[in-house]
Amino acid sequence: MYSCADLKKGIKLMIDNEPHVIVQFDFTKPGKGQALYKCKLRNMITGSLFDRTYRSGESFEPASLEERDMQYLYRDETGYVFMDQKTYEQTSISEEVLGDDHYFLVDNMEVKVLLHNERGIGVTLPNFVNLRVTQSDPWVKGDTAAGNNKPATVESGYTLQVPSFVEQGSLIQIDTRTGEYVTRVKE
């Protein structure tokens, strides 16, 4: 069982017998008062989003889902299509159900697909992915401070902050758990 202290973004819980994932998490606590754990949850079957607030002392059943190694193939009108490389079985997961994870899918990437009644309802991504920067303002001459940053958009449409020395066309590594820049990747 999980306690409130285990709650954070990405944790999967069973609520009313259906798997849910925490997509946004806020811890609030007036200095001397009770802690409140404010969660935005996504029903992993229907994709529907809702808010719920929990208090210390509550416990949660982890969602234990079957995982299968699959390869990401392509996107079509049904959503994102994955294939089991042993059985050639395919499953498609809609963008709604995948949530922000779709930003980190790269063609032919191997992921673990989470299954519920034989249907794909989510993925476990590798911790790091490499994506190419498709849009970012050029480096400003004279801006040499190592800590300076600017926004950049990568090939999947995802936007993040990167160091000012990262150029359009660079391949960068992103931590899929935080969505943050890690380093440039040598090609």
Q: Point out which residues bind another protein (CB under 8 A).
A: 4-5, 25-36, 53, 56-57, 145-149, 163, 180-186
Q: Among residues 33 and 138, whose Cβ is nearest to another protein?
A: 33
Cβ-based nearer residue to another protein, 33 or 88: 33
- Torsions phi, psi for 96 (to 5 deg): -55, -45
Q: Is residue 184 a contact partner of residue 170, using CB atoms and an 8 Å limit?
A: yes
CB of 47 to another protein, least distance (A): 26
- The string of DSSP codes covering 92-118 is EE-HHHHGGGGGG--TT-EEEEEEETT
- The DSSP H or E segment spanning 55 is strand 49-55
DSSP 139: P
Compare residues 91 and 164 and give the one whose CB is closer to another protein: 164
Cα angle 147-166-140, degrees, rounded to a multiple of 5: 70
Smallest gap from residue 167 Cβ to another protein (A): 13
**How far apart are CB 162 and another protein at their closest, in Å?**
8
Q: H helices of the chain, where?
A: 95-98
Toward another protein, which CB reaches closer, 77 or 147?
A: 147
Q: How far is the CB of 21 from another protein (least distance, A)?
A: 19
- The residue among 36 and 65 lying less far from another protein, judged by its C-beta, is 36
Least Å distance between CB 30 and another protein? 6
